[in-house]
Structure 1
Amino acid sequence: MGSLRGRSQPVRDDARLFLERLRAKGVRVLFFEEPTLPHGFWKYAALADTAANAAASMCEAFHSLLDSTADRPAP
């Protein structure tokens, strides 16, 4: 499970609570917060280095997560 959001995310507090609940249930959670970026910053990745770097970091983390679970059998 992953969450990437800008600091001005409208449901920021709800997202944090949801992530805490998932972690409490043993779900591996990747969490990224980009304090200088607005909600929906993905659409600016082609225009702003900060947005592009944030998107790349999240993609790398998801890739690593998928690689780490590739050898585990499906439930």
Structure 2
Amino acid sequence: MERKEKNFLGFTVSIVVGAIVASLCIIQAIFPNEFKAFFIQHSIFFNIMGGFLVFIVAVILGFVTFINGRY
């Protein structure tokens, strides 16, 4: 029985996303009004950056899945 190499991509991504969400929750708890005002003032920028980041993550995950399927 041959051993398969473990893939830690999902584990790493979940830790990074969890750390980002936790830091945003802490910042919002400390500075609630400033946090909301900052996001309202820069909403167009955050919408564009969010869409761009989702696109980049989808491309990277698709590429990784394609490479893992080939080898």
TM-score, with structure 2 as normaliser:
0.36
Q: Which has the larger radius of gyration?
A: 2
TM-score, with structure 1 as normaliser:
0.35
Higher relative contact order (CA 8 A, sep 6+): 1
Q: Which has the higher strand share?
A: 1
